[in-house]
Amino acid sequence: MKLYDCHVAPNPRRARIFLAEKNIKLEKIEIDILAGENLQDDFLAVNPRGLLPVLELDDGTYIDEVMAICRYFEEVQPEPALLGRDLKEKAIVTMRQRKMEFDGMISCSEVFRNQHKEFLKRGIPGGGKDNIPAIPALIDRGNQTLNRFFWWLEKYLEDGPYLTGDQFTMVDITATCSIGFAKWSDIHIPDANTRTKKWYEKVLARPSAEA
Ligand SMILES: N[C@@H](CCC(=O)N[C@@H](CS)C(=O)NCC(=O)O)C(=O)O
Protein backbone atom coordinates (compact mmCIF):
# COMPACT_ATOMS: atom_id res chain seq x y z
CA MET A 1 0.00 0.00 0.00
CA LYS A 2 1.19 3.53 -0.76
CA LEU A 3 0.07 7.03 0.06
CA TYR A 4 0.49 9.73 -2.59
CA ASP A 5 1.29 12.70 -0.41
CA CYS A 6 2.40 16.33 -0.48
CA HIS A 7 4.09 17.26 2.76
CA VAL A 8 3.14 20.97 2.71
CA ALA A 9 -0.52 20.54 1.73
CA PRO A 10 -3.33 20.60 4.31
CA ASN A 11 -5.54 17.77 3.03
CA PRO A 12 -2.73 15.21 2.88
CA ARG A 13 -1.83 16.37 6.40
CA ARG A 14 -5.29 15.33 7.61
CA ALA A 15 -4.62 11.80 6.36
CA ARG A 16 -1.10 11.73 7.84
CA ILE A 17 -2.30 12.83 11.30
CA PHE A 18 -5.07 10.21 11.21
CA LEU A 19 -2.54 7.48 10.32
CA ALA A 20 -0.10 8.69 12.98
CA GLU A 21 -2.84 8.56 15.65
CA LYS A 22 -3.39 4.92 14.70
CA ASN A 23 0.35 4.30 14.42
CA ILE A 24 -0.02 3.03 10.86
CA LYS A 25 3.06 3.47 8.69
CA LEU A 26 2.83 3.53 4.90
CA GLU A 27 5.18 4.00 2.00
CA LYS A 28 4.76 7.59 0.77
CA ILE A 29 5.20 9.03 -2.69
CA GLU A 30 5.76 12.78 -2.58
CA ILE A 31 4.02 14.82 -5.28
CA ASP A 32 4.94 18.52 -5.49
CA ILE A 33 1.72 20.50 -5.99
CA LEU A 34 3.46 23.89 -6.26
CA ALA A 35 5.62 22.56 -9.08
CA GLY A 36 2.47 21.17 -10.73
CA GLU A 37 3.49 17.50 -10.49
CA ASN A 38 -0.12 16.65 -9.62
CA LEU A 39 -1.18 17.93 -13.05
CA GLN A 40 1.21 15.71 -15.01
CA ASP A 41 -0.07 12.65 -16.86
CA ASP A 42 1.63 10.21 -14.46
CA PHE A 43 -0.35 11.49 -11.50
CA LEU A 44 -3.56 12.12 -13.44
CA ALA A 45 -3.54 8.38 -14.16
CA VAL A 46 -3.69 7.89 -10.38
CA ASN A 47 -6.31 10.58 -9.75
CA PRO A 48 -7.88 12.28 -12.80
CA ARG A 49 -8.89 15.19 -10.53
CA GLY A 50 -5.23 15.86 -9.77
CA LEU A 51 -5.87 16.01 -6.02
CA LEU A 52 -3.94 14.66 -3.06
CA PRO A 53 -3.89 12.55 -0.99
CA VAL A 54 -4.52 9.22 -2.72
CA LEU A 55 -4.18 5.77 -1.18
CA GLU A 56 -3.10 2.94 -3.49
CA LEU A 57 -4.18 -0.47 -2.23
CA ASP A 58 -2.10 -3.59 -2.87
CA ASP A 59 -4.51 -4.69 -5.61
CA GLY A 60 -3.94 -1.40 -7.45
CA THR A 61 -7.21 0.28 -6.41
CA TYR A 62 -6.90 4.02 -5.88
CA ILE A 63 -8.84 5.68 -3.07
CA ASP A 64 -8.91 9.46 -3.08
CA GLU A 65 -10.79 11.81 -0.70
CA VAL A 66 -9.38 12.09 2.81
CA MET A 67 -12.53 10.79 4.45
CA ALA A 68 -12.62 7.67 2.26
CA ILE A 69 -8.98 6.94 3.16
CA CYS A 70 -9.68 7.48 6.86
CA ARG A 71 -12.82 5.32 6.74
CA TYR A 72 -10.75 2.51 5.19
CA PHE A 73 -8.21 2.57 8.02
CA GLU A 74 -10.85 2.99 10.73
CA GLU A 75 -12.31 -0.35 9.54
CA VAL A 76 -8.89 -2.03 9.23
CA GLN A 77 -7.79 -0.86 12.66
CA PRO A 78 -10.69 0.40 14.81
CA GLU A 79 -8.55 1.51 17.78
CA PRO A 80 -8.19 4.27 18.68
CA ALA A 81 -11.61 5.18 17.26
CA LEU A 82 -11.29 8.47 15.41
CA LEU A 83 -14.66 8.44 13.64
CA GLY A 84 -16.78 7.84 16.73
CA ARG A 85 -17.19 5.00 19.23
CA ASP A 86 -20.93 4.41 19.16
CA LEU A 87 -23.85 5.25 16.91
CA LYS A 88 -24.48 8.71 18.36
CA GLU A 89 -20.82 9.69 18.43
CA LYS A 90 -20.33 8.47 14.85
CA ALA A 91 -23.20 10.71 13.72
CA ILE A 92 -21.79 13.69 15.65
CA VAL A 93 -18.29 13.18 14.26
CA THR A 94 -19.70 13.02 10.71
CA MET A 95 -21.80 16.15 11.23
CA ARG A 96 -19.06 18.24 12.83
CA GLN A 97 -16.33 16.99 10.54
CA ARG A 98 -18.34 18.20 7.51
CA LYS A 99 -18.60 21.65 9.04
CA MET A 100 -14.85 21.75 9.67
CA GLU A 101 -14.30 20.74 6.06
CA PHE A 102 -16.75 23.15 4.44
CA ASP A 103 -16.44 26.19 6.69
CA GLY A 104 -12.78 25.58 7.53
CA MET A 105 -10.79 23.75 4.87
CA ILE A 106 -12.74 24.91 1.80
CA SER A 107 -12.95 28.54 2.97
CA CYS A 108 -9.18 28.57 3.54
CA SER A 109 -8.77 27.23 0.04
CA GLU A 110 -10.93 30.02 -1.40
CA VAL A 111 -9.04 32.73 0.48
CA PHE A 112 -5.61 31.35 -0.39
CA ARG A 113 -6.18 30.17 -3.94
CA ASN A 114 -7.81 33.38 -5.15
CA GLN A 115 -4.96 35.63 -4.06
CA HIS A 116 -1.77 33.57 -4.31
CA LYS A 117 0.14 34.26 -7.51
CA GLU A 118 1.03 30.59 -8.07
CA PHE A 119 -2.68 29.80 -8.29
CA LEU A 120 -3.97 32.71 -10.41
CA LYS A 121 -4.84 30.26 -13.17
CA ARG A 122 -5.56 27.33 -10.87
CA GLY A 123 -8.91 28.64 -9.61
CA ILE A 124 -10.26 25.29 -8.46
CA PRO A 125 -8.34 22.53 -6.70
CA GLY A 126 -6.78 20.24 -9.27
CA GLY A 127 -8.14 22.33 -12.17
CA GLY A 128 -4.71 23.61 -13.18
CA LYS A 129 -4.73 22.34 -16.74
CA ASP A 130 -8.00 24.13 -17.48
CA ASN A 131 -6.61 27.63 -16.73
CA ILE A 132 -9.53 28.49 -14.45
CA PRO A 133 -8.95 32.10 -13.32
CA ALA A 134 -8.96 33.26 -9.71
CA ILE A 135 -12.04 35.22 -8.57
CA PRO A 136 -10.92 37.87 -6.02
CA ALA A 137 -14.49 38.24 -4.62
CA LEU A 138 -14.18 34.72 -3.24
CA ILE A 139 -11.50 35.95 -0.82
CA ASP A 140 -14.11 37.98 1.06
CA ARG A 141 -16.62 35.18 1.03
CA GLY A 142 -14.02 32.75 2.29
CA ASN A 143 -13.15 35.13 5.12
CA GLN A 144 -16.80 35.34 6.10
CA THR A 145 -17.21 31.57 6.20
CA LEU A 146 -14.03 31.31 8.23
CA ASN A 147 -15.65 33.52 10.86
CA ARG A 148 -18.37 30.87 11.10
CA PHE A 149 -15.70 28.14 11.34
CA PHE A 150 -14.06 29.89 14.31
CA TRP A 151 -17.48 30.35 15.89
CA TRP A 152 -18.18 26.59 15.60
CA LEU A 153 -14.92 25.73 17.32
CA GLU A 154 -15.56 27.93 20.32
CA LYS A 155 -19.11 26.56 20.57
CA TYR A 156 -18.13 22.88 20.29
CA LEU A 157 -15.52 23.29 23.00
CA GLU A 158 -18.32 24.12 25.47
CA ASP A 159 -18.94 20.34 25.49
CA GLY A 160 -15.48 19.20 26.58
CA PRO A 161 -11.73 19.31 25.89
CA TYR A 162 -12.06 18.10 22.26
CA LEU A 163 -14.43 19.11 19.49
CA THR A 164 -16.81 16.22 20.13
CA GLY A 165 -16.38 16.00 23.90
CA ASP A 166 -13.87 13.85 25.76
CA GLN A 167 -12.34 12.01 22.79
CA PHE A 168 -9.88 13.27 20.14
CA THR A 169 -11.43 12.57 16.70
CA MET A 170 -11.31 13.41 13.04
CA VAL A 171 -13.14 16.64 13.86
CA ASP A 172 -10.05 17.81 15.77
CA ILE A 173 -7.82 16.73 12.89
CA THR A 174 -9.72 18.62 10.18
CA ALA A 175 -10.00 21.69 12.40
CA THR A 176 -6.26 21.63 13.21
CA CYS A 177 -5.32 21.38 9.54
CA SER A 178 -7.75 24.17 8.64
CA ILE A 179 -6.17 26.48 11.22
CA GLY A 180 -2.73 25.64 9.82
CA PHE A 181 -4.02 26.40 6.32
CA ALA A 182 -5.61 29.70 7.45
CA LYS A 183 -2.17 30.87 8.65
CA TRP A 184 -0.97 30.79 5.05
CA SER A 185 -3.31 33.75 4.51
CA ASP A 186 -2.32 35.36 7.84
CA ILE A 187 -5.65 34.42 9.44
CA HIS A 188 -5.45 33.30 13.05
CA ILE A 189 -7.72 32.17 15.90
CA PRO A 190 -9.44 35.33 17.16
CA ASP A 191 -7.97 36.54 20.48
CA ALA A 192 -11.37 36.35 22.19
CA ASN A 193 -11.68 32.60 21.42
CA THR A 194 -9.88 31.42 24.53
CA ARG A 195 -11.27 27.87 24.55
CA THR A 196 -10.07 27.37 20.97
CA LYS A 197 -6.61 28.74 21.73
CA LYS A 198 -6.19 26.35 24.66
CA TRP A 199 -7.47 23.40 22.63
CA TYR A 200 -5.14 24.24 19.71
CA GLU A 201 -2.07 24.22 21.98
CA LYS A 202 -3.13 20.81 23.28
CA VAL A 203 -3.67 19.22 19.86
CA LEU A 204 -0.39 20.64 18.53
CA ALA A 205 1.41 19.01 21.47
CA ARG A 206 0.27 15.54 20.31
CA PRO A 207 3.05 13.64 18.48
CA SER A 208 0.70 13.16 15.50
CA ALA A 209 0.75 16.91 14.82
CA GLU A 210 4.29 16.48 13.48
CA ALA A 211 3.13 14.01 10.82
N1 LIG B 1 -11.89 16.78 -0.94
C2 LIG B 1 -10.53 16.39 -1.21
C3 LIG B 1 -9.68 17.63 -1.26
C4 LIG B 1 -8.27 17.34 -1.76
C5 LIG B 1 -7.52 18.62 -2.10
O6 LIG B 1 -8.10 19.69 -2.33
N7 LIG B 1 -6.19 18.51 -2.12
C8 LIG B 1 -5.37 19.64 -2.46
C9 LIG B 1 -4.19 19.71 -1.49
S10 LIG B 1 -4.67 20.31 0.08
C11 LIG B 1 -4.76 19.43 -3.85
O12 LIG B 1 -4.40 18.31 -4.18
N13 LIG B 1 -4.65 20.49 -4.66
C14 LIG B 1 -4.05 20.40 -5.93
C15 LIG B 1 -4.22 21.63 -6.76
O16 LIG B 1 -4.86 22.54 -6.31
O17 LIG B 1 -3.69 21.64 -7.89
C18 LIG B 1 -10.06 15.41 -0.14
O19 LIG B 1 -10.67 15.40 0.94
O20 LIG B 1 -9.14 14.62 -0.38
Q: Does residue 123's CB lie within 6 angstroms of at least one atom of ligand 1? A: no
Is 86:98 a contact under the CB 8 Å cutoff? no
Closest ligand 1 atom to 52 CA:
12
36 versus 16: the higher-pLDDT residue is 16
Q: What is the dihedral of CA 37, 42, 44, 50, to 10 degrees?
A: -20
User: Mean pLDDT over all residues of the chain?
Assistant: 96
Is 109:134 a contact under the CB 8 Å cutoff? no
The average pLDDT across 79-104 equals 98
Confidence of residue 123 (pLDDT cuts 50, 70, 90): confident
Tell me how far apart the terminal alpha carbons of the chain are, to the nearest angstrom.
18
Please tell me the residue having the least CA distance from ligand 1 atom 2.
65
How high is the pLDDT of residue 117? 85
CA of 134 to the centre of ligand 1 (A): 16
Domain range list for the chain: 2-76, 87-210
Question: Measuring CA to CA, how many Å separate 144 from each of 150, 156, 204?
Answer: 10, 19, 25
The average pLDDT across 78-82 equals 98
The pLDDT tens digits of the residues spanning 190-199 come to 999 999 999 9
The pLDDT tens digits of the residues spanning 143-180 come to 999 999 999 999 999 989 999 999 999 999 999 999 99
CA of 90 to the centre of ligand 1 (A): 24
Q: Does residue 170's CB lie within 6 angstroms of at least one atom of ligand 1? A: no
Query: Does the pLDDT of residue 32 top 80, yes or no?
Result: yes
CA of 124 to the centre of ligand 1 (A): 9
CA of 196 to the centre of ligand 1 (A): 25
The set of residues, in sequence order, having a beta carbon less than 8 Å from that of 183 and lying 6+ positions away, is: none
Q: Does residue 52's CB lie within 6 angstroms of at least one atom of ligand 1? A: yes
Domain topology for 2-76 = Glutaredoxin (3.40.30)
Query: Does the pLDDT of residue 108 top 90, yes or no?
Result: yes
Q: Does residue 93's CB lie within 6 angstroms of at least one atom of ligand 1? A: no
Same fold, 2-76 and 87-210: no
Q: Does residue 122's CB lie within 6 angstroms of at least one atom of ligand 1? A: yes
Query: Does the pLDDT of residue 128 top 70, yes or no?
Result: no
How high is the pLDDT of residue 75? 98
* Architecture of the domain spanning 87-210: Up-down Bundle (1.20)
Query: Does the pLDDT of residue 22 top 90, yes or no?
Result: yes
The set of residues, in sequence order, having a beta carbon less than 8 Å from that of 18 and lying 6+ positions away, is: 66, 69, 70, 73, 82, 170, 173
Q: Does residue 55's CB lie within 6 angstroms of at least one atom of ligand 1? A: no
The average pLDDT across 13-41 equals 96
Q: How many residues does the chain have?
A: 211
Verdict on whether the full-model pTM lies above 0.95: yes
